[in-house]
Amino acid sequence: MKWRKFARSALAALVAFACSAALAANLGGFTSTPSNLYDLGYNPSAQAWYTDTSGKTSVSCSITGGQSTLVLLVVSQSIPANSAPTAYTPSNATAHALSVIDGNCYRATDPLLGGTGQPPSGATFGGSYVSKLADKIITDGKYQRVIVVVSSIGGTSAADWAPTGPWNAHLRTALLRIRQKAYVGNADVTYRVLYDQGTTDAVNGTSQANWQASFQQIVGTINGFGLGAPKICVSIDTMATNATNATIQAAQQAVVDNVQIFQAGNLDTLTGGNRQADGTHLSDTGTTNAAALNEPCVAP
């Protein structure tokens, strides 16, 4: 009897371990079940992020059958965030945003929910090239609907988004939001990622090897959520105070394999009037041109 009782206990422990391991794998990196799967793991930054839904127009997150839809996750620093001088309202009513904060969908009007604000304090919120990109993709007839999922936090580095970084929980939450909506696997939906990260690394003196190592870990997080291995478009973006960084540029180019990772726009070519007075963040003209540069990769 004692042997049978021991055997049953051992079997129960083994099953519990297997279930726990399966759950951890399914949650893409969680080693234990969090009390709240949609906990953003917010780590206070130097800049605030936009959370006000009072001026937003709610829309359905559901996919209309036959409507070609691009779901675009944007993982980035402040350049694609709400850091441009003027807020933009897309002309197309089907340019939408899935909020990482509350899991609801809205018209993709600036300021975009979840993105940080304007330099230098980030206390005010303006425009983003992401809203312009969504609008342009629809206008150009690439997709009938675009749903952007914004994880754009000013002052972050590549390492900040890796599994040991303070913003990886934010990325995991974005991926969970996408999975919750069952977009992946829907024949009408294309799922892609735009990765625009490099300015802070340029300022911090990050090595090429370290940037690439962090990026590969981020790819591991993205691929570990049961959402497949989406096409990831990597922008070349290193300009800070009108100076570019060859080391980070080389890292951004080296990760391209043209299998899952592809080269997006070279935002370092946007100089002069494309930049604000700080020589770093994009002007309104710069956001328009950044959207055009990134479109061929995101929506060829």
Q: Please write the tens of the pLDDT for every residue from 74-84.
A: 999 999 999 99
User: Are 36 and 113 spatial neighbours (Cβ–Cβ below 8 Å)?
Assistant: no
Give the integer Cα–Cα distance in Å for 249 and 271. Answer: 16
Could you tell me the pLDDT band of residue 20, with boundaries at 50, 70 and 90?
A: very low
CA 181 to centroid of chain Cα atoms: 16
Write down the pLDDT at residue 121. Answer: 76
Residue extents of the structural domains in the chain: 1-33, 43-298
Question: What tens digit of pLDDT does each residue of 157-183 get?
Answer: 999 999 999 899 989 999 999 999 999
For 92-112, write each residue's pLDDT tens digit.
Answer: 999 999 999 999 999 999 999
- Fold that domain 43-298 belongs to in CATH: Rossmann fold (3.40.50)
Instruction: Count the alpha carbons within 13 Å of 224 in the hemisphere toward its beta carbon.
Output: 21
Query: What average pLDDT does the segment 132-139 reach?
Result: 98
pLDDT confidence of residue 38: 64
The answer to whether the beta carbons of residues 118 and 46 sit under 8 Å apart is: no
Q: Where are the beta strands (DSSP E) in the chain?
A: 58-59, 69-76, 95-98, 105-107, 145-152, 189-196, 231-236, 261-266
- Number of other residues whose CB lies within 10 A of the CB of residue 204: 13
Q: How much is the pLDDT for 57? A: 97
- What one-letter code names the amino acid at 273? G
> What angle (nearest 5°) sits at the alpha carbon of residue 37, between those of residues 192 and 50?
65
Give the position of tokens 């009390």. 35
Question: What would the pLDDT profile of 203-258 be if each residue is shown by its tens digit?
Answer: 999 999 999 999 999 999 999 988 999 999 999 999 999 999 999 999 999 999 99
Element counts in the chain: helices (H) and strands (E): 8, 8
Q: In this structure, are residues 57 and 78 in contact, taking their beta carbons and an 8 Å threshold?
A: no
Q: What is the pLDDT of residue 148?
A: 98
Element (H, E) at 60: none
Q: What is the pLDDT of residue 44?
A: 54
Distance CA 213, CA 216 (A): 5
Q: Reduce the DSSP state of residue 63 to 3 states and report it.
A: coil
- In the block, tokens 């206390």 appear at 123
What pLDDT shows up at residue 17? Answer: 28
Is the pTM value of this prediction over 0.85? yes
- Summarised one tens digit per residue, pLDDT across range 21-74 is 322 333 333 333 344 656 666 555 556 889 999 999 999 999 988 999 999 999
